[in-house]
């Protein structure tokens, strides 16, 4: 399994604790993620797990909660062009949520519980290439909240703990 993280910051603790895992940085946003996934799929057909932080629309989710994404959609596409993508691999034991992939923060929820900037790109690429993929996210903030109120350290700590406690290796 390949563990994808948008940033080095999100991956750093897991890399330090488990240098044996195949951890890659995909970059921030849909284009960077699609590019990295295409690069990976040229030579490898392993399952992909996207791991990172997210903003929550749903205030029942607490900062630090780790969730499994079951469905992603590009939130910025016009009605009629938008499309949802389903995870082909769902991490069990975590709350399951729907997510918007956004190009900037604070898009309308439209049925999603969280937002991120990469997930739909991974799901679309993996679906097109028939590769298993999943996604887990740790809540760092509430959508629309000032950046100063975000709790990225807590989210990253809980994300790493969750990954270490799951049996995800192939």
Q: Indicate yes or no: pTM above 0.75.
A: yes
Domain of residue 146, residue span: 2-165
pLDDT, tens digit (0-9, with 9 covering 90-100), for 16-58: 999 999 999 999 999 999 999 999 999 999 999 999 999 999 9
CATH number at residue 17: 3.40.50.1580
pLDDT band at 83 (very low <50, low <70, confident <90, very high): confident
pLDDT, tens digit (0-9, with 9 covering 90-100), for 90-123: 999 999 999 988 876 656 667 899 999 999 999 9
Residue 118: both structure tokens together:
């990469």
In a domain, 145, yes or no: yes
In a domain, 128, yes or no: yes
In a domain, 22, yes or no: yes
Q: How many domains does the chain have?
A: 1
In a domain, 170, yes or no: no
Question: Does position 145 have pLDDT exceeding 90, yes or no?
Answer: yes
């Amino acid at each position: 399994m390949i563990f994808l993280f948008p940033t080095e910051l999100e991956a750093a603790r897991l890399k330090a604790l488990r240098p044996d895992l195949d951890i890659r940085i995909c970059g921030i946003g849909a284009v960077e993620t699609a590019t990295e996934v295409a690069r990976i799929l040229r030579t490898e057909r392993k399952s992909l797990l996207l791991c990172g932080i997210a903003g929550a629309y749903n205030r029942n989710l607490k900062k630090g909660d780790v969730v499994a994404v079951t469905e992603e959609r590009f939130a910025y596409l016009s009605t009629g062009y938008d499309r949802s993508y389903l995870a082909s691999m769902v991490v069990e034991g975590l709350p399951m949520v729907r997510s918007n992939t956004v190009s900037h923060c604070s898009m309308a929820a439209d049925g999603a519980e969280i937002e991120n900037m990469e997930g739909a790109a991974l799901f679309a690429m993996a679906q097109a290439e028939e590769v298993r993929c999943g996604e887990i996210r740790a809540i760092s903030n509430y959508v629309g909240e000032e950046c100063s109120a975000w709790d990225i350290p807590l989210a990253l700590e809980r994300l790493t703990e969750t990954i270490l406690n799951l049996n995800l290796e192939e």
